[in-house]
Amino acid sequence: MNQDWHAQARDRMVDDLRRKGIWDDRVLEAMRTVPRHQFVLPDTQRSAYTDSALPLFAGATISQPYIVALMTQALRLDGSEHVLEVGTGSGYGASVLARLAAKVVTIETVPELVEWAKKRVPDSVQVILGDGSLGYPSAAPFDAISVTAAAPELPSTLIDQLRLGGRIVVPIGPQSGRQQLRLVTVSDNESGSRHEVVDLATVRFVPLTGRAGHV
Ligand code: SAH
């Protein structure tokens, strides 16, 4: 399978994402550009551009392209942002975010995945080993946060690390079974800051571990 084969498969993936309702051309271009086949295990490369999650190792999965696109689109990035991703996994999601933001910090608990991702992400992505369930206070505040593992409830420590006007996308629900992918926007009014919450989709993510996680 050569580069042309992969590029054509990516074009078909993008057509499919558009049919499924992804409308932001910048997000679609990012999805057309990032070589997902380089982030998956060698034996799943053939399936890299089908719209499904694929197993990595250490219990992690690379998220379904539609969900990566939906989460990225919901963050409404204009290229200037400082973004935190919790749950680096392969580094694919961080690389898509990096096409649309100024700087991405991504945090992962599994050392082998940190090494895997570091070899694949662009220079504007910083990969950190650690528990991201409490965010990454030393680089806060962020304009946007993407959480790619399911949290038991809306993580207030992460919301506290958002700038006013900031957005977080996070799957919320049980460790196994279905969760709700939520978009929370922090805005202010006369009585102080408030959160607007929108449900985006029903999803299945691996559990968020760590201090504010499930286990
Ligand atoms: N965004 C990834 C997919 C991540 S799968 C990609 O594009 O490939 C979810 C990841 O979250 C797993 O790698 C898991 O190890 C990680 N994770 C779970 N709990 C975490 C925590 N508390 N802090 C950081 N990473 C965590």
pLDDT, one tens digit per residue, over 86-129 is: 999 999 999 999 999 999 999 999 999 999 999 999 999 999 99
> Structure tokens of 208?
């968020």
Q: Does the global pTM surpass 0.95?
A: yes
33 or 190, which is more confident: 33
95 is catalytic: no
The predicted pLDDT at position 1 comes to 72
Amino acid at 183: L
Residue 16's CB: how many other CB atoms inside 10 A? 15
**Calpha distance 76→139 (Å, rounded):** 20
Say if residue 189's pLDDT is above 80. no
The predicted pLDDT at position 191 comes to 67
Residue 151's CB: how many other CB atoms inside 10 A? 23
Q: Compute the mean pLDDT over every residue in the chain, rounded to the nearest whole number.
A: 96
Residue 106 Cβ < 6 Å to ligand 1: no
Burial of 25 (0-12, 13-18, 19+ CB in 10 A): exposed
Residue whose CB lies within 8 A of the most ligand 1 atoms, among 71, 90, 126, 208, for a mutation test: 208
91 and 120 Cβ atoms separated by less than 8 Å: yes
